[in-house]
Amino acid sequence: MSRGLIVVDVQNDFCEGGSVPVAGGARIATAIADLVRESRGRDYQYVVATRDHHIDPGSHFSDHPDFQDSFPVHCVAGEEGGEFHPHFAPAVTGGHVDAVFFKGAHSASKSGFEGADTQGTSLADWLRARGVEDVDVVGIATDHCVRATALDAVAAGFRARVRLDYSVGVAPHTTAAALDDFRQAGVAVSGEAPTS
Protein backbone atom coordinates (compact mmCIF):
# COMPACT_ATOMS: atom_id res chain seq x y z
CA MET A 1 0.00 0.00 0.00
CA SER A 2 1.35 3.40 -1.00
CA ARG A 3 0.49 6.90 0.18
CA GLY A 4 0.50 9.80 -2.24
CA LEU A 5 0.56 13.55 -1.79
CA ILE A 6 -1.59 15.71 -4.06
CA VAL A 7 -0.46 19.35 -4.20
CA VAL A 8 -3.30 21.49 -5.52
CA ASP A 9 -2.84 24.61 -7.65
CA VAL A 10 0.15 26.34 -6.06
CA GLN A 11 0.20 28.85 -8.91
CA ASN A 12 1.05 32.52 -9.29
CA ASP A 13 -2.51 33.70 -9.87
CA PHE A 14 -3.65 32.17 -6.56
CA CYS A 15 -0.89 33.81 -4.52
CA GLU A 16 -0.30 37.42 -3.56
CA GLY A 17 0.05 39.55 -6.67
CA GLY A 18 -2.03 37.18 -8.79
CA SER A 19 -5.41 37.79 -10.39
CA VAL A 20 -7.31 35.73 -7.75
CA PRO A 21 -4.97 35.97 -4.75
CA VAL A 22 -5.46 33.99 -1.56
CA ALA A 23 -3.87 35.54 1.53
CA GLY A 24 -1.01 33.34 2.69
CA GLY A 25 -0.58 31.66 -0.69
CA ALA A 26 3.13 32.48 -1.03
CA ARG A 27 3.84 31.31 2.50
CA ILE A 28 2.00 28.02 1.94
CA ALA A 29 3.92 27.56 -1.33
CA THR A 30 7.18 27.62 0.64
CA ALA A 31 5.82 25.27 3.31
CA ILE A 32 4.62 22.77 0.71
CA ALA A 33 7.95 22.85 -1.13
CA ASP A 34 9.69 22.00 2.14
CA LEU A 35 7.17 19.23 2.85
CA VAL A 36 7.70 17.69 -0.57
CA ARG A 37 11.49 17.74 -0.35
CA GLU A 38 11.54 16.32 3.17
CA SER A 39 8.84 13.66 2.92
CA ARG A 40 8.94 12.25 -0.62
CA GLY A 41 10.13 8.67 -0.42
CA ARG A 42 9.62 8.61 3.34
CA ASP A 43 6.02 9.62 4.13
CA TYR A 44 4.91 9.68 0.50
CA GLN A 45 5.86 7.19 -2.16
CA TYR A 46 4.50 9.53 -4.83
CA VAL A 47 3.94 13.27 -5.07
CA VAL A 48 1.80 14.85 -7.78
CA ALA A 49 0.71 18.41 -8.44
CA THR A 50 -2.34 19.87 -10.15
CA ARG A 51 -2.51 23.03 -12.24
CA ASP A 52 -5.39 25.15 -13.41
CA HIS A 53 -4.74 25.37 -17.15
CA HIS A 54 -7.50 27.40 -18.74
CA ILE A 55 -7.79 27.84 -22.50
CA ASP A 56 -11.47 28.70 -22.95
CA PRO A 57 -13.41 27.75 -19.80
CA GLY A 58 -16.60 29.54 -20.81
CA SER A 59 -18.59 31.13 -18.00
CA HIS A 60 -15.89 30.22 -15.46
CA PHE A 61 -14.26 33.50 -16.54
CA SER A 62 -16.50 36.47 -15.85
CA ASP A 63 -16.34 40.25 -15.72
CA HIS A 64 -18.86 39.99 -12.86
CA PRO A 65 -17.66 36.90 -10.94
CA ASP A 66 -19.50 35.35 -8.01
CA PHE A 67 -16.26 33.78 -6.73
CA GLN A 68 -17.96 30.41 -6.38
CA ASP A 69 -18.58 29.25 -9.94
CA SER A 70 -17.12 32.21 -11.83
CA PHE A 71 -13.90 34.15 -11.34
CA PRO A 72 -11.77 36.83 -12.99
CA VAL A 73 -9.48 35.57 -15.75
CA HIS A 74 -6.79 33.40 -14.15
CA CYS A 75 -4.28 30.64 -14.86
CA VAL A 76 -4.47 31.03 -18.61
CA ALA A 77 -2.45 28.37 -20.42
CA GLY A 78 0.96 29.71 -21.40
CA GLU A 79 0.80 32.82 -19.22
CA GLU A 80 2.85 33.60 -16.12
CA GLY A 81 -0.18 33.51 -13.82
CA GLY A 82 -0.67 29.84 -14.57
CA GLU A 83 2.89 28.85 -13.70
CA PHE A 84 3.80 27.29 -10.37
CA HIS A 85 4.67 29.88 -7.73
CA PRO A 86 8.45 30.42 -7.56
CA HIS A 87 8.55 29.22 -3.95
CA PHE A 88 7.12 25.86 -5.05
CA ALA A 89 8.42 25.54 -8.62
CA PRO A 90 11.90 24.26 -7.59
CA ALA A 91 10.27 21.20 -6.01
CA VAL A 92 8.80 20.41 -9.43
CA THR A 93 11.87 21.17 -11.53
CA GLY A 94 14.10 19.46 -8.95
CA GLY A 95 12.41 16.12 -9.51
CA HIS A 96 10.52 15.92 -6.22
CA VAL A 97 7.14 15.88 -8.02
CA ASP A 98 6.40 12.75 -10.02
CA ALA A 99 3.66 14.08 -12.30
CA VAL A 100 1.62 17.20 -13.04
CA PHE A 101 -2.09 17.07 -13.88
CA PHE A 102 -3.67 19.90 -15.88
CA LYS A 103 -7.34 20.75 -15.40
CA GLY A 104 -9.95 23.17 -16.63
CA ALA A 105 -8.86 23.78 -20.21
CA HIS A 106 -12.45 24.21 -21.41
CA SER A 107 -14.43 24.02 -18.19
CA ALA A 108 -14.78 25.32 -14.65
CA SER A 109 -12.94 22.25 -13.37
CA LYS A 110 -11.85 22.52 -9.75
CA SER A 111 -10.91 18.96 -8.87
CA GLY A 112 -7.53 17.47 -9.70
CA PHE A 113 -9.40 14.28 -10.51
CA GLU A 114 -10.84 16.04 -13.55
CA GLY A 115 -7.33 16.64 -14.86
CA ALA A 116 -4.86 14.63 -16.90
CA ASP A 117 -1.09 14.50 -17.32
CA THR A 118 0.67 15.27 -20.60
CA GLN A 119 0.01 11.70 -21.78
CA GLY A 120 -3.73 12.07 -21.12
CA THR A 121 -3.74 9.80 -18.04
CA SER A 122 -6.24 10.79 -15.37
CA LEU A 123 -5.10 11.35 -11.81
CA ALA A 124 -7.15 8.43 -10.49
CA ASP A 125 -5.74 6.03 -13.08
CA TRP A 126 -2.19 7.25 -12.46
CA LEU A 127 -2.48 6.67 -8.72
CA ARG A 128 -4.15 3.27 -9.07
CA ALA A 129 -1.46 2.08 -11.49
CA ARG A 130 1.09 2.68 -8.74
CA GLY A 131 -0.87 1.02 -5.96
CA VAL A 132 -1.73 4.23 -4.15
CA GLU A 133 -4.71 3.83 -1.82
CA ASP A 134 -4.23 6.74 0.59
CA VAL A 135 -3.78 10.36 -0.41
CA ASP A 136 -3.07 13.56 1.46
CA VAL A 137 -4.33 16.74 -0.19
CA VAL A 138 -2.74 20.17 0.34
CA GLY A 139 -2.64 23.48 -1.48
CA ILE A 140 -4.81 26.36 -2.62
CA ALA A 141 -7.60 26.84 -1.73
CA THR A 142 -9.04 24.73 1.08
CA ASP A 143 -12.58 25.85 0.27
CA HIS A 144 -12.36 25.48 -3.51
CA CYS A 145 -9.96 23.21 -5.40
CA VAL A 146 -8.54 21.41 -2.35
CA ARG A 147 -12.12 20.70 -1.29
CA ALA A 148 -13.16 19.41 -4.72
CA THR A 149 -10.03 17.26 -5.07
CA ALA A 150 -10.41 15.67 -1.62
CA LEU A 151 -14.10 14.92 -2.12
CA ASP A 152 -13.42 13.40 -5.54
CA ALA A 153 -10.59 11.31 -4.07
CA VAL A 154 -13.04 9.64 -1.69
CA ALA A 155 -15.63 9.26 -4.45
CA ALA A 156 -12.97 7.50 -6.55
CA GLY A 157 -12.26 5.01 -3.77
CA PHE A 158 -9.17 6.50 -2.15
CA ARG A 159 -8.77 7.18 1.54
CA ALA A 160 -8.20 10.92 1.72
CA ARG A 161 -6.91 13.38 4.28
CA VAL A 162 -6.64 17.17 4.00
CA ARG A 163 -3.67 18.65 5.82
CA LEU A 164 -4.83 22.07 6.95
CA ASP A 165 -1.34 23.10 8.02
CA TYR A 166 -0.32 22.96 4.34
CA SER A 167 -3.48 24.48 2.87
CA VAL A 168 -4.95 27.96 2.80
CA GLY A 169 -8.58 28.98 2.41
CA VAL A 170 -10.18 32.02 0.84
CA ALA A 171 -12.65 32.90 3.61
CA PRO A 172 -13.49 31.58 7.08
CA HIS A 173 -17.15 30.81 6.34
CA THR A 174 -16.49 28.87 3.12
CA THR A 175 -13.57 27.05 4.73
CA ALA A 176 -15.81 26.04 7.64
CA ALA A 177 -18.37 24.75 5.16
CA ALA A 178 -15.63 22.74 3.41
CA LEU A 179 -14.66 21.14 6.73
CA ASP A 180 -18.27 20.09 7.20
CA ASP A 181 -18.26 18.59 3.71
CA PHE A 182 -15.08 16.67 4.54
CA ARG A 183 -16.62 15.18 7.68
CA GLN A 184 -19.77 14.13 5.86
CA ALA A 185 -17.81 12.51 3.02
CA GLY A 186 -15.32 10.68 5.23
CA VAL A 187 -12.33 12.87 4.38
CA ALA A 188 -9.95 12.99 7.34
CA VAL A 189 -8.56 16.36 8.42
CA SER A 190 -5.30 17.00 10.24
CA GLY A 191 -3.37 20.04 11.45
CA GLU A 192 -4.52 23.56 12.04
CA ALA A 193 -4.96 26.10 9.32
CA PRO A 194 -2.20 28.72 9.38
CA THR A 195 -3.20 32.25 10.28
CA SER A 196 -2.72 34.85 7.58
Residues with a catalytic annotation lie at 9, 103, 145
CA-to-CA distance for 170 and 119, rounded, in angstroms?
Answer: 32
CA-to-CA distance for 127 and 124, rounded, in angstroms?
Answer: 5
CA-to-CA distance for 75 and 149, rounded, in angstroms?
Answer: 18
Residues 140/8, Cβ–Cβ less than 8 Å: yes
CA-to-CA distance for 46 and 111, rounded, in angstroms?
Answer: 19
CA-to-CA distance for 10 and 96, rounded, in angstroms?
Answer: 15
